[in-house]
Structure 1
């Protein structure tokens, strides 16, 4: 009998919460999810990601919203396997928000904690 394999963090359903809250154009960024669908969430809106590249090591999301702008998340998983610790950073990523004309509204590296889907 093969030992049970732990699921990869990249495959886990749930959402990722930033360590540092920020607001762009009056929208407060609250995090992102990868599974079952790649989404970026703000307190007032959820933005589907038309570009989502997720591997066991890295994550790249690009999500467009007419009010917020283009949100890009480029990061790496700090832990390969799913963790049950809700206080542990599992993703380190650079979050960039740009206007439709390409002006950078926000750009910073942050760490994200994972919370399982409810």
Structure 2
């Protein structure tokens, strides 16, 4: 379930409710548990601002963003075979699914737009 959360964060959703609304079917409990686990694994940073009311924001870490290029290479490898597992539809990587600007830039270069 981490990929949809990372995707949501990379698309600008920083607050719990915004992340929750952007992922169809996720429960509040499941999102809370996943965010805690991702923070423990240093994939995201939780920032609490002592305003009134208290504000909590989540952002992806550099460590998390470093996976973007790896994910892109995996998608390119699968696409080069021309098939998904058990099917015959080629995969088409979408930049919104990849964390970090480096991966989006690499995707644009792959498409010839960068």
Q: Normalized against structure 2, the TM-score is what?
A: 0.21
The structure in which a higher percent of residues are helix is 2
Q: Normalized against structure 1, the TM-score is what?
A: 0.20
The structure in which a higher percent of residues are strand is 1
